[in-house]
Amino acid sequence: MLITVNTKYITVGLLLACSIICALLQGRLLRRMILLADDSESDTGGKGIRNHESWQVSPKALHSVNMTSSAAKTCAINLYGLPRAFQSLALPSIIQNVIRPNAINNCDYFIHYYYLTEEGAGRSGEGGQIKPEEVLLLRQAVQDYSPNSVIRFCYDKEEAFWNQFKPLIDKIRTTNATNGKFLYFPWRSPSYIYPVTTDNIVKMWHSIQSAWNLMAEYETLTTRKFDRIAMLRLDVVYITPINVFHVNQRELRDDEKVALVPGFGRHPVSDRLIVGPRDAVEIWAAQRFERLDAHIQFVRRNHPGWGMHSEKYLNWSIFPAIRDTGTTIVEDDHLCFFRARVDESVWISDCGGWPVFARPSILNNLGGDKVQVLESTLGRKCLGEAQHVSWAFVALQCPAG
């Protein structure tokens, strides 16, 4: 009788194991079929003004890693913006401080970028040539360190952007308050240049939301939601590691609901990055346009003249909405990254400055001189002495060759 019972249990166990294996294989097959279907529809020719590319690396020998409890959760890393000096400056840092630290988490990647080949001189530096196709080098980088991760791309050309957003930008440029001054444009800010700064804010918001939407489309196709999501810029040099399941260099507990933001670039908060739970990041990434008019009316009543100032919008409207989800917003004491410019200069002043703008602990926690840390990240020496490009920004030339 004892033998019969054990045999029955063994049979049931084998059937359950087979069912689980089949379900896993079907899920992988569905993922792959979706990606292949997207690839077959992708048009990378020069005529397209809005485009999608999808790709998943072929499974290969997995790197040996120690899995943690957080690894069972799903994560997405969404990158956005204009790929300034991408291969030279941004890519080495993304490999070292984004892709490699998150290989253990098997995060998927969703990228929106602007297909722009030239940038004029202005607030973002001296300008110069852009090679947007360099973004696609992320494919091999992800393959090398996270072979089971999905990576998808989409982009906009200038014409597509203006076709979609000209009515909104015209509204922002021309709408006045009852006192005759601009309602949307932040005329109180001495650093905002009319109309370029607010035009660029709309471009940034669109790129952020497009990366989010690309991820959300994938969620719909695979019928799963990501647990934790990072929204990262394409045009910066990350000089400290970002693990999406860590805050201040410690692993999040399962019962914590925390969003991470930079502790620098605070005007009065930083708008350059967020890592957090899905519902919190959705507000940051996908609800700026829909919340804008309510924010403008709040500003008109309480803080006239600040309009759609980027950081104040987050401080007064976006961050409170995030906190309403039960999420705690934490400024990371260790996170540091420098903006990269088209001329291969790096703004090394970004993580420092007066305490009101940057937490002093950030540079103290680097563990070395910031130029040395930058050069170590890039794998080469920068040239000459750092130069002031304005009262606020200090740039260092770090060309690849």
pLDDT computed for residue 53 by the predictor: 56
pLDDT, tens only, 241-287: 999 999 999 999 999 999 999 999 999 999 999 999 999 999 999 99
Residue 50 has pLDDT above 80, yes or no: no
CB 92 within 8 A of CB 379: yes
* Alpha carbon distance 296, 313 (integer Å): 9
Give the other-Cβ count within 10 Å of 266's Cβ.
20
pLDDT computed for residue 71 by the predictor: 46
* Alpha carbon distance 52, 230 (integer Å): 20
- 315-330 average pLDDT score: 99
Encoded tokens for 33 = 């079929």
* Alpha carbon distance 262, 358 (integer Å): 9
Q: What pTM does this model have? A: 0.86
pLDDT computed for residue 124 by the predictor: 60
pLDDT computed for residue 24 by the predictor: 43
pLDDT computed for residue 390 by the predictor: 81
Alpha-carbon distance values, 69 to 73, 74, 105, 185 (Å): 8, 11, 10, 46
pLDDT computed for residue 17 by the predictor: 52
Task: Report the mean per-residue pLDDT for the chain.
Answer: 87
pLDDT-based confidence at residue 123 (cuts at 50, 70, 90): low
Residue 5 has pLDDT above 90, yes or no: no
The H-assigned helical ranges of 117-268 are: 138-145, 158-174, 196-222
CB 70 within 8 A of CB 117: no
Give the other-Cβ count within 10 Å of 184's Cβ.
25
pLDDT, tens only, 342-396: 999 999 999 999 999 999 999 999 988 999 999 999 999 999 999 998 878 999 9
Nearest alpha-carbon partner for 224 in 154, 278, 276, 275:
278
Peptide bond into 186 cis (omega under 30): no
* Alpha carbon distance 230, 228 (integer Å): 7
303-322 as b/e: b if 16+ CB within 10 A = eebbbbbbbbbbbbbbbeeb
pLDDT computed for residue 392 by the predictor: 82
Identity at 349, one-letter amino acid code:
S
